[in-house]
Structure 1
Amino acid sequence: MSDDHPSPPLRPIPEPGPNEPAATPATGRGAGSPDLRPRTETADVLPFGKPGRAFGGSPFTFGFTAALGVLAAWLLVQALTATASMLVLITVSLFLAVGLDPAVRWLQRRGLPRWGAITAVFAAVIVFFAGFGVAVIPALSQQTGQFVEQLPTYIGQLQSHPQVRDLDQRFGLLERLQSYLISGDLGRQVFGGLLGAAGIVVSAVFSALTVLILTLYFLAALRTITSTGYRLIPKSRRARVQLLGDEILHRIGSYVAGNLLISLIAGVTTFVFLSIAGVPYALALAIIVAVTDLIPLIGAGIGAAVAIVVALFVSVPVAIACLVFFIVYQQIENYLIAPKVMKSSVDVPAAATIVAALIGGALLGIVGALLAIPVAAAVQLIVSEVVMPRQERH
C-alpha cells in the first residue's frame, strides 16, 4: 500500500470472556459463535444441465422420469383421439341444453314446474325430429323408386342419342356396360355400398339418440352443474366469475333461440313459396332449408341448392324462380331479420363471425361451425370485462 492511502490499523481479536471458549485461528471467533463470513460453498449448487436433488441426483432417475412424462402425454393424446367423437357428442348435448334452458325458464315463469317445463320442451324437440323423418324419408323413397322405374327409359334415350351411339361404335361402351352389369363385380360393389350406407345410417341414429338423451340429462341437471362449477372457483373471485358465467350462458341460450327462430321463419317462407310454385315435396324441402339454415355461412346455400335441384325436375323457369326467391330472401334475412332477432343475444363483429366459423368448421366440421359464434361471443365478453379493465389499471 502507498503512503497516500495508509492501511487501516488491524483490529485486535477480543479476548474471550470467562464463559466463552477461546478464539480459533481460522475464524477469529469463539467455537460456539456463529460464523458471519459470506458462504462460498457450492455444494448445493449444481452445474447447468445436471439433475438436481428433485430427481435423486441420478441421470438414470431423471431420464426415467422424463420418459414417464412423455409416455403419459402420449397416452393422453391417444385417449383424446379415441374418444373425440364422444366428446363432440357431449359438447353438442351441453350446448343444446344451454340453448333450450331459456325456453324452460320461460315456461317456469308461466307457472309450470321445472320438470314439466323440461318435459314440454323435450317433447317439442322430439316432435320436430319425428316430423322431419316423416316428411323427408317417404319423399326420398318415392324419388328412388321412380328413378329405378325410369332407368330403362334413360338407357334407351342414351342409346338413341347420336353422340352416345357414335362412341359406342368406336369404343364399344354399351357392350362393356352390359358385361359389367352381368358380371358379379357390380353386385359386390352395390352390396358393399349398401352395407356402408347402412352403417352410416345406424351410426347417425345412434348419435342422434345419444345427443337427445344427454341433452335431457344436462337440461335437468344444468343448475347443479353450474353451481358445482362455480364452487370450484376461489371464494374471493367466485362472485365475479358467476356473473360472467351467467352472462355467457344467457348469450349462448339467446343465440340458440334466435337461430332457431330465424330457421323457422326460413322454413315457413320456403314452404309457402314452393307450394305456390308447384314444386313437389314442399314440406320436406322446407324442413331441409330450415335445418341447414342453422349452419353459419354455407347452410342457407346448401338448403337452397337442394330445393333448386328438385325444382329442375318441374321446369327450368320454376328453378330460375326458386333461385331468384332464395337470393332475395337471403338478403332480407341477412340485413333485416337476423339483426333484429340477434340484437339482444350475441353482438359479434362480422369479421370475427366469419373467422370463428371458418376455424370452427376446420376443427370440428359442421359442429364446430355451429359452436364457433357463441364461443366467439364468450371470448369477446371475457376480453371486454376482464382483460381490458386489467390492462387499463396497469
Structure 2
Amino acid sequence: MIDTAGTQRSRVRSTILFAFAIALALYLAWLLRHVLLLLYVSALFAVVLKPLVCYISDLRVGRWKPFRNVAIFVLLLIVFGALAAFIFLAVPPVMDDLRDFAREMPTRLPQILDKLKRLPFAGHIDVQDLTDRIEGAATGSATSVLHSLKDWASGLFTVAMGFILTVYFSLEGDVAYRWALSFFPITHRTRLDGALRRAEVRMEKWLIGQGSLMLILGLASTVTYSLLHIRYAYALGFLTGLLNIVPVIGAAVCVGLALLVAAIDSWGRVLGVIIFYVIYINVENSFLTPRIMKSSVDLPGLSILVGLVVGSELAGVVGALVSVPTAVLVSVLLDEYLVVKEDEESAPLAVSKILPS
C-alpha cells in the first residue's frame, strides 16, 4: 500500500528546500551583483565585437592570414593605440590652456561676467560672490580628487578586468555558451539556441549601424568645429563620434562640452554649434536613424529609450552603453517565448475544423 501521507510530507520538504535554495541563490546574486554585471557586460561586448574579430582574422596577405589566431589582441591593440594617440595629441594643449586660465582667472573672470550681464535676466550677478564660489569649488574639487584615489584605482581595476574577461569570452565563448546551454532540458535547448543566434545577428548589425552613425557624426562635427575655428576641433570631433555610442546621453554630453569650449571665445561660435546640432539631430532622426538603425536592430524608438533609462539607472554609464544590445536580446526572447504569432492563433482553429465534432 502506498504511503500517501509520507509522500505528501516528502513533497512539502522538497518544496521548502527548493524555496530556500532559490532564496539563497537570489541573495548570493545580490551580493555578487557587481561581478555578475561585469561578466554580463564583458560577454555582451565579446558578442558585439565578434564581426570585427572575424574581419581581422580573415585579412590576407596573399594566401597567408597573419592575424588568424591573434585577431582579438590586434583589435585591442588598435583600440589602445587610438586612445593613446588621442591622449598624446589632445590632452597637452587642454592642460596648458587650463593652467593659463587658472593663472588668469582673477583678471578674466570679471570680463566673462561682464559679458554674462549683457544677457537677459543676468544683471544681478555678484562678481565677488561668484569668484569666491569658483575658488572654493576648485579647492574642494582638488581635495576630493586626493580623497578619491582609492575609487579611481578600483575603477581602473574594474576596467582592466572587463578587458581581460572580454578577451577570454572572445577566445572561449563557444565553450562557455555550450556549457550554459547544457543546464536546459534537451527539448528546449534547440529553441533557445535559435533565439540567441538570432539575437547575436541583430547585435552584430547594431554594431555596424552604430559605427556608421558614430563615423558620420564624428566627421561632420570635426568639419564644423574646424570651420567655426573652435579650440580642440579634432579632439572634440573625435569625442563627439565616440560618445555617440551611448544613445541620447552621449549626444547631450557632446553638446554641453562643445558649447562650453565655444563659449570661451565668442557667443557667435556658440550659436554656430547650436545651429549645427539642431540640423544634425533632425537629419539623424528623420533620415539616418530610420535607414541605418531600423534595418539593423528593428526596434521602435520607445523601447530604445526605455532600455536606456533602465540601463543607466541600474548600472550608470555602462548600463546606458549596453542598453540597446540588451534591448535587442530581451526583444528576441520575448518574441520567441511570450508573443503569440498569428499562425499559432489560427492553428487550433484549423485543427478544430479538421477533427470531427
* TM-score normalised over the length of structure 1: 0.70
Whether the aligned pair in 2 keeps the contact of 1:104 and 1:114 (CA below 8 Å) is no
* Structure-2 separation of matches of 1:187 and 1:271: 31
Q: 1:273, CA displacement in angstroms?
A: 1.3
Alpha-carbon distance change, 219 to 198 in structure 1, aligned in 2, over 3 angstroms = same
Q: Which has the larger radius of gyration?
A: 1
CA, structure 1 residues 230+151, in 2 after alignment: closer, same or farther (shift >3 Å)? Answer: same
Question: For 1:336-375, what per-residue CA distance to the aligned partner results, in whole angstroms no more than 9, with x for missing partners?
Answer: 2223332442101122222222222222222223323222
Would the alpha carbon gap of residues 99 and 139 (structure 1) be closer, same or farther in structure 2, given more than 3 Å must change?
farther
1:81 and 1:150, CA in 2 relative to 1: closer, same or farther beyond 3 A?
A: farther
1:388 aligns with 2:340: yes
CA gap of 1:284–1:119, structure 2 versus 1, over 3 A, is: same
Cα offset for 1:246? 1.3
Cα pair 1:158 1:164 within 8 Å, conserved: no
- CA offsets 1:125-179 (integer angstroms, 9 cap, x no match): 22233234334432442232122111231467699999888x97xxxx79x96xx
Stretch moving more, 192-201 or 290-299: 192-201
Q: Aligned pairs, how many?
A: 330
Contact 1:254 1:346 in 2 (8 A): yes
Residue number among 291, 310, 314 corresponding to 1:340 in the alignment: 291
Residue 73 of structure 2 is aligned to residue 122 of structure 1: no
The match for 1:93 is 42
Q: Of the candidates 176, 196, 214, which is equivalent to residue 263 of structure 1?
A: 214
Question: What one-letter code is carried by the residue in structure 2 that aligns with 1:97?
Answer: A
Residue of 224, 235, 245 corresponding to 1:273: 224
Tell me how far 1:123 sits from its aligned partner.
Answer: 1.9
How far residue 81 of structure 1 moved from its aligned partner, in angstroms, is: 4.1
For structure 1, list consecutive stretches of 5 or more residues without a partner in the other structure: 1-33, 35-42, 47-51, 57-61
CA distance in 1, matches of 2:18, 2:178: 36
Counterpart pick for 2:318 among 347, 357, 367: 367
For residues 73-109 of structure 1, give each alpha carbon's deviation from its aligned partner in whole angstroms, at most 9, with x where no partner exists: 3x65554444333332222221111111011223344
Q: Contact 2:47–2:200 (CA<8 Å) still a contact in 1?
A: yes
CA drift of 1:315 comes to 0.8
Residues 186 and 221 of structure 1, relative CA distance in 2, 3 Å threshold: closer
Q: Which amino acid aligns with 1:53?
A: R
User: SS state of the match for residue 250, structure 1?
Assistant: helix
**Does the alignment pair 1:103 with 2:57?**
no
The code of the aligned residue for 1:128 comes to A
In the alignment, structure 1 residue 53 sits paired with structure 2 residue 9: yes
1:305 aligns with 2:259: no
Kindly provide the CA deviation profile for residues 304-360 of structure 1, in whole angstroms up to 9, marking residues without a partner as x. Answer: 121111011121111100110111112222222223332442101122222222222
Instruction: Pick from 246, 270, 275 the counterpart of residue 295 of structure 1.
Output: 246
Change in Cα spacing, 1:200 to 1:216, as seen in structure 2 (3 Å) is same
Instruction: Name the SS for the 1:294 alignment partner.
Output: coil
Q: Structure 1 CA distance, aligned partners of 2:172 and 2:20?
A: 37
Q: Among 198, 201, 212, which residue is 1:247 paired with?
A: 198
Residue correspondence of structure 1 range 218-233 to structure 2 within 5 A = 218-233=169-184
- Rounded Cα–Cα distance in structure 2 between residues aligned with 1:78 and 1:195: 35
- Name 1:213's counterpart in structure 2: 164
User: Which residue pairs with 1:40 in the alignment?
Assistant: none
Residue of 299, 324, 327 corresponding to 1:376? 327
Partner of 1:142 in structure 2?
96
Instruction: Return closer, same or farther for 1:299/1:120 CA change in 2, 3 Å cut-off.
Output: same
User: Deviation at 1:193?
Assistant: 1.5
Matched-pair contact (CA < 8 Å) for 2:196–2:329: no
Q: Which amino acid aligns with 1:388?
A: V
Quote how far apart the aligned CAs of 1:280 are: 0.8
Alignment partner of 1:115: what SS?
Answer: coil
The structure where helix makes up a greater share of residues is 2
Identical amino acids, percent of aligned pairs: 24
Alignment correspondent of 1:39: none
Q: Which amino acid aligns with 1:94?
A: A
Deviations 1:276-300 (A, max 9, x none): 2111111221122123211112321
- Cα distance change, pair 197–268 in 1 and its aligned pair in 2 (3 A): farther
1:68 Cα deviation from its structure 2 partner: 11
1:319 aligns to what? Answer: 270
**Would the aligned equivalents of 1:292 and 1:300 in 2 still touch at CA under 8 Å?**
yes
Q: CA RMSD in A?
A: 3.9
* Partner amino acid, structure 1, of 2:227: I
Cα deviation for residue 214 of structure 1 reads 1.5
2: CA distance, partners of 1:205 / 1:92: 16
Q: Is the 8 A contact 1:135 1:283 kept in 2?
A: no
- In structure 1, give the amino acid aligned to 2:153: V
CA distance in 1, matches of 2:184, 2:328: 22
Matching residue of 2:351: none
